[in-house]
Amino acid sequence: LGQCHSLEVWQDEALLGGVFGITIGGVFCGESMFSRSRNGSKSALAFLTVHLQNCGFSLFDTQFITDHLQSLGAIEISRATYQSKLADAIKLPVSITSQPIPDVQSILQRNTQTS
């Protein structure tokens, strides 16, 4: 049915943070994220968000909203909107491995570009 995936952020030999979850069609259901250094989980989430968009995913389900997730751009939607988006997204023929993981420069450019 679905597949479990993880994304880790490393600096040299040090694991900084990561996120893991399950994909079903064009939906990524985030299960957990962790940080072993300051902003480690934020970095992992930034990479994952851009990667999912590049691969054609349309829904990132965080299970519930937190102040931390809101600070990173998460929004809460109604149950009806969620059910509609979920029904559409699970039908998408996308793969998390269809594109390479973005590099740091593309993440920074995407998050700072204003034009």
Q: Mean per-residue pLDDT for 70-95?
A: 94
Confidence (pLDDT) at 95: 95
| Half-sphere exposure for 45 (CA within 13 Å, toward CB) | 21
CATH topology of domain 3-109: Aminopeptidase (3.40.630)
Confidence class of residue 112 from pLDDT cuts 50, 70 and 90? Answer: low
Confidence class of residue 108 from pLDDT cuts 50, 70 and 90? Answer: confident
CB burial class (10 A; 0-12, 13-18, 19+) of residue 5? middle
Q: What is the pTM of this model?
A: 0.85
Confidence class of residue 89 from pLDDT cuts 50, 70 and 90? Answer: very high
- Tens of pLDDT along 19-61? 999 999 999 999 999 999 998 988 898 889 999 999 999 999 9
Residue spans of the domains in the chain: they are 3-109
Is the distance from CB of 34 to CB of 56 less than 8 angstroms?
A: no
